[in-house]
């Protein structure tokens, strides 16, 4: 349903009691991120715009004040919801979307084991990013996001082809 919109982050929790909300942003920027006037949240399959009154940085997170959200209870309703911007606003954010996040939702196929699962999330760590995969049996599989493991990313088929070292998948899948 996100045609025309790009997910840039997630609301985490209320910040204080006046309706501010802590958010994490999953895009990288060499300059401070400038949020557009409005962001979008998908509510019951409808894109609902919300207007940002102010934004500030707190460590690795952002604190957003959204119009008409003036209590902790109202802010709490945003917890866990994704933050979207219209695709035509991406350039105004001063960001270059991290290519890693474009494979979320792609199917993962190993050259030996075959179908592994689906990319659920990209975990960012200082030393190495990790691909979090959910198998058909709901097993969480963690694979380092390194070029030597990635053989091909087929955007058309939404498939990531990997070649993992012997034993890595066996740890998770017991194959």
What range defines the domain where residue 42 resides?
A: 5-97
Q: Are 130 and 119 in contact (CB under 8 A)?
A: no
The span from the CA of 25 to the CA of 135, in Å, is 26
Give the domain-ending residue among 72, 97, 122: 97
Let me know whether 79 and 111 are in one domain: no
Rounded mean pLDDT of the chain?
Answer: 82
Give the domain-ending residue among 69, 97, 125: 97
Name the token pair of 152: 């091909």
Measuring CA to CA, how many Å separate 3 from each of 42, 67, 86, 125, 172?
12, 25, 9, 29, 34
Give the domain-ending residue among 71, 97, 123: 97
Per-residue pLDDT of 53-68, as tens digits, reads: 888 877 677 889 999 9
Let me know whether 89 and 107 are in one domain: no
Looking up tokens 């004040």 gives 65
Let me know whether 43 and 114 are in one domain: no
pLDDT at 92 over 70: no
- In this prediction the pTM is 0.51
């Amino acid at each position: 349903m996100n045609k025309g919109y790009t997910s840039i982050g997630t609301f985490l929790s209320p910040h204080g009691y006046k309706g501010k909300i802590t958010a994490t942003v999953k895009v990288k920027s060499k300059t401070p991120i400038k949020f557009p006037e409005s962001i979008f949240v998908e509510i019951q399959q409808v894109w609902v715009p919300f207007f940002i009154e102010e934004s500030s940085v707190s460590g690795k997170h952002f604190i957003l004040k959204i119009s008409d959200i003036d209590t902790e209870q109202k802010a709490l309703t945003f917890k866990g919801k994704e933050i979207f911007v219209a695709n035509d606003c991406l350039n105004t954010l001063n960001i270059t979307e991290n290519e890693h996040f474009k494979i979320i939702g792609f199917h993962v196929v190993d050259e030996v084991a075959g179908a592994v699962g689906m990319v659920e999330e990209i975990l960012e760590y200082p030393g190495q990013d990790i691909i979090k995969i959910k198998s058909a049996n709901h097993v969480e599989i963690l694979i380092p996001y390194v070029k030597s493991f990635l053989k091909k990313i087929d955007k058309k088929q939404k498939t990531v082809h990997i070649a993992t070292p012997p034993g890595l998948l066996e740890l998770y899948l017991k194959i």
